[in-house]
A = this chain, B = another copy of it.
């Protein structure tokens, strides 16, 4: 593979922000972080693999919950310091059970919940 994850720009902790967007609906699902090795793993496996800052370990999205993100397209921004992942999201992306993590809006100065948790899904 000639794309080299080392050519991306990482922060002082060696991380780059990665935005996950539903490839079909265009909904922005979440933002998390990757290091160079998780970028490589994501491209190699096709399963989105973040770096967990709290656990300091690889985080294969959905490995325990089943709510996987299968990579559809991998994009790099003009500054090479942010990633956009087009994904096929299984079930909710958010740990609260909502499709997206961005379920709170600020409207007229007040926080409003604009999305409810998804109903429990039968497992595939």
Q: Which residues of A contact B (CB under 8 A)?
A: 1-3, 17, 19, 21, 25-28, 30-31, 43, 73-79, 82, 84, 94-96, 98, 101-107, 109-111, 114
The residue of chain B having its C-beta at the shortest distance from the C-beta of A26 within the complex is B26
Q: Are A2 and B105 in contact, with the CB atoms below 8 A? A: no
Q: Assess whether B101 is in contact with A77, with CB atoms less than 8 Å apart.
A: yes
- As for how many copies of this chain the complex holds, the number is 2
Cα distance, A2 to B112, chains bound together (Å):
12
Greatest chain B CB density within 10 A among A30, A77, A109 is at A77
A40 shortest CB reach to chain B, Å: 11
Contacts A109-B43, A111-B3; is A104 near B75 (CB within 8 Å)? Answer: yes
